[in-house]
């Protein structure tokens, strides 16, 4: 009997350790999984070229909505018709919302269309497959974490690319429509910040500080990258970029663009799946997740 009591008593610390371990596991935030993100890039590329208004673009929208549903979101499409150099084109943005403790919103966004190119087959693995894959994974991860302070909106833009030359207003159709619709609906005031992802999968990841982006947002993300040991990929070199964040900036919304334009296959036939690195997706995903609490704290002042 004495042996039995000793054995029972000695098991208590072990059981306590098990309970503590289970508690810590339950509290650990869901991590960004670059394998999942890369799979989303692969699935997009398998659809072929996906310019706005094309059947493949419509199939990708179905894929995005279905993937978001698997993560627990009820995504909504925002259809519109844009006047382009080839005539009127039907497009649609996709929006998924994660309610926070307050209604004010932080938007994380990517465009999902590929540039319309007739001369060769352009599948846009990096542009915009990489950012769309990462955004789908960020939505999954953040859904599995504790309720955020701010409402998070995952926004997938259609029609970022231009037909032919990038010249106003032949680009950023989806983001311009979104901002115009928000202004009409009176919801711009609750839109507190935009984090835009674009071309983030390059194996030689080099993200430069966009001079059009809001400085304090850029500072937080770049400081976070350095803290996580990724400073070599977030360069302190200034570089002006025109992208889907510009309509938000013009509307007075703080915005930052994470984009790697140091990419030899930009708008080339070589922008294929083998050029995309899961490690690059992991780096950007980890930095965005780690920067969000500080962005929330800055907005909460």
pLDDT higher than threshold 90 for residue 301: no
Q: What is the pLDDT of residues 5-58, one digit of tens each?
A: 333 334 444 444 444 444 444 467 889 999 999 999 999 999 999 999 999 999
**C-alpha closest to that of 169 among 255, 224, 247, 105:** 247
In angstroms, rounded to a whole number, what is the distance separating the alpha carbons of residues 121 and 54? 14
pLDDT higher than threshold 50 for residue 220: yes
Q: Would residue 198 show up in a list of annotated catalytic residues for this protein?
A: yes
Domain ranges of the chain: 43-299
Which is the catalytic residue, given 137, 158, 198, 243?
198
Amino acid 29: pLDDT: 84
The token pair that represents 135 in the structure block: 């955004």
Among the ranges given (25-34, 113-122, 192-201, 291-300), the one the predictor scored with the smallest mean pLDDT? 25-34
Q: What is the pLDDT of residues 149-188, one digit of tens each?
A: 999 999 999 999 999 999 999 999 999 999 999 999 999 9
Which is the catalytic residue, given 113, 127, 160, 286?
160
Mean pLDDT of 226-247: 97
pLDDT higher than threshold 70 for residue 257: yes
Q: What is the CATH topology of the domain spanning 43-299?
A: Aminopeptidase (3.40.630)
Mean pLDDT of 88-104: 98
Q: Would residue 160 show up in a list of annotated catalytic residues for this protein?
A: yes
Mean pLDDT of 289-300: 97
Q: What is the pLDDT of residues 99-154, one digit of tens each?
A: 999 999 999 999 999 999 999 999 999 999 999 999 999 999 999 999 999 999 99
């Amino acid at each position: 009997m004495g042996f039995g009591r000793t054995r029972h008593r000695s098991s208590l610390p072990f059981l306590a350790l098990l309970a503590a371990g289970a508690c810590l596991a339950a509290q650990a935030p869901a991590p960004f999984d670059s394998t999942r993100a890369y799979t989303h890039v692969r699935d997009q590329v398998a659809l072929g070229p996906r310019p706005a208004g094309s059947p493949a673009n419509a199939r990708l929208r179905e894929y995005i909505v279905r993937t978001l549903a698997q993560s627990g979101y009820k995504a909504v499409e925002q259809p519109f018709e844009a006047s382009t150099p080839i005539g009127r084109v039907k497009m649609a943005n996709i929006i998924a919302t994660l309610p926070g403790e307050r209604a004010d919103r932080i938007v994380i966004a990517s465009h999902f269309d590929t540039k319309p190119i007739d001369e060769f087959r352009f599948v846009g693995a990096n542009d915009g497959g990489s950012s769309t894959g990462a955004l789908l994974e960020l939505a999954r991860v953040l859904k599995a974490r504790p309720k955020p302070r701010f409402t998070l909106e995952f926004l997938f833009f259609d029609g970022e690319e231009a037909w032919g030359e990038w010249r106003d207003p032949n680009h950023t159709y989806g983001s311009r429509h979104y901002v115009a619709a928000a202004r009409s609906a009176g919801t711009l005031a609750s839109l507190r910040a935009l984090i835009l992802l674009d071309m983030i999968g390059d194996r030689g990841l080099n993200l430069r500080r966009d001079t059009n982006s809001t400085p304090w947002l850029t500072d937080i993300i770049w400081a976070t990258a350095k803290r996580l040991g990724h400073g070599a990929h977030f360069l302190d070199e200034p570089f002006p970029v025109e992208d889907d964040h510009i309509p938000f900036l013009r509307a007075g919304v703080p915005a930052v663009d994470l984009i790697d334009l140091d990419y030899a296959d930009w708008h080339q036939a070589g922008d294929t799946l083998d050029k995309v690195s899961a490690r690059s997706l992991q780096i950007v995903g980890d930095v965005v997740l780690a920067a969000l609490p500080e962005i929330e704290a800055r907005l909460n002042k």
